[in-house]
Structure 1
Amino acid sequence: MHVILVEPEIPPNTGNIARTCAATGTVLHLVEPLGFQISDRYLRRAGVDYWHLVDVQVHASWDQLPLDLRDPERLHLFTSHGGRVYSDVPYGPDDVLVFGRESTGLPDALLHQYPQAWRQIPMREGVRSLNLSNAVAIAVYEAFRQWNFPGLTRQRGEKRPES
């Protein structure tokens, strides 16, 4: 699975998304321009010590992404403007989840190029959008839930003491 962030602006969001990608083995693609440097201390702090577990690839533009990542059959463009509810869509292991800038979302030109790929996460009326890192986590874990969480550990270490 691949997550693409188109022109992300806020370092801690991208760091948190990198942590989700590390936890699931999802490839993270960043499409420039970025609102930060990859070495940004806030970005590193949010990802803590997981950066070595993340396959992060930076691309100069949407058009510079490999063609297979732009295949309309694999794309899921997350937008608050409409589309199918994210949990009503089947996901494949090679699918591509695409998210836009924190301030403006995905570019209109990109949305209009792939109208069949629009996905939405339902929210209450009057709420503009979810935090980007939360939206990515919701979508990634829905895909893994559909596949019965392959390769992910369900139990970790020692049990917590009972109260």
Structure 2
Amino acid sequence: MLNIVLHEPEIPANTGNIGRTCVAANARLHLIEPLGFRLNEKNLRRAGMDYWDELDVTTYIDFDEFLEKNEGARIYMATTKAPNVYTDVRYEPDCYIMFGKESAGIPEEILVKHKEDSIRIPMAGDIRSLNLGNSVAIILYEALRQNGFAGMNKEGHLHRLTW
């Protein structure tokens, strides 16, 4: 099972959407405080729809507690400052992919310790960053693809309409 980590997320709707994506992808969500909202906030629940109750979510007081409780975890840091493109790494089935807060990303003091495991989504021109929910979906689904979409429905079916 893959793991998505949000370091100090600020916008409840983004976190709600990411929670919904995690449920669809059978991924765990890890939230590192401080959060810019309460977990019972209406906007968070609305964005997560009725999937929020199915979400495997854990919160941590800070990054140190996250590291302590997930000792030995393989963590990829998604950042615009990374030297590696997200498609150039091999995601282990139980790895962690961390994203920073919307306004500032992952703090540089964390990134310097994880330079080799930092990944980026290529962008054209002077675009500063993508929406957090979009970034999570792009990288999470690449990790799922690399792992053969294990345990996921890979085939859809049309329903015949009768007139």
Query: TM-score range, shorter-chain basis?
Result: over 0.9
Find the counterpart in structure 1 of residue 11 from structure 2: 10
Aligned residue for 1:97, secondary structure, equals: strand
8 Å Cα contact 1:69/1:75 also seen in 2: no
Find the counterpart in structure 1 of residue 39 from structure 2: 38
8 Å Cα contact 2:82/2:115 also seen in 1: no
1:108–1:160 CA distance, 2 compared to 1 (3 A): farther
Aligned residue for 1:45, secondary structure, equals: helix
Rounded to whole Å, the distance in 1 between the matches of 2:48 and 2:42 is: 10
Rounded to whole Å, the distance in 2 between the matches of 1:135 and 1:159 is: 32
1:45–1:71 CA distance, 2 compared to 1 (3 A): same
In the TM superposition, residue 66 of structure 1 has moved relative to its aligned partner by 4.7
- Mean Cα displacement is larger for which, 90-99 or 59-68? 59-68
Rounded to whole Å, the distance in 2 between the matches of 1:150 and 1:81 is: 30
8 Å Cα contact 1:24/1:152 also seen in 2: yes
- Aligned counterparts, 1:1-163, within 5 A: 1-67=2-68, 69=70, 71=72, 74-156=74-156, 158-159=158-159
In the TM superposition, residue 68 of structure 1 has moved relative to its aligned partner by 6.5
2:29 maps to a residue whose letter is L
2:121 maps to a residue whose letter is I
Structure 1: stretches of 5+ with no match in the other structure = none
2:80 maps to a residue whose letter is S
Structure 2: stretches of 5+ with no match in the other structure = none
1:151 maps to a residue whose letter is G
Rounded to whole Å, the distance in 2 between the matches of 1:109 and 1:160 is: 56
8 Å Cα contact 1:83/1:117 also seen in 2: no
Query: TM-score, normalised to structure 1's length?
Result: 0.92
8 Å Cα contact 1:69/1:96 also seen in 2: no
2:52 maps to a residue whose letter is W
Percent sequence identity over aligned pairs? 44
**Any idea what the Cα deviations from partners look like across 1:94-123, whole Å, max 9, x if unmatched?**
100000000000011110111111100000
Query: TM-score, normalised to structure 2's length?
Result: 0.92
2:27 maps to a residue whose letter is T
Rounded to whole Å, the distance in 1 between the matches of 2:3 and 2:114 is: 17
Rounded to whole Å, the distance in 1 between the matches of 2:52 and 2:157 is: 22
1:6–1:141 CA distance, 2 compared to 1 (3 A): same
1:90 maps to a residue whose letter is R
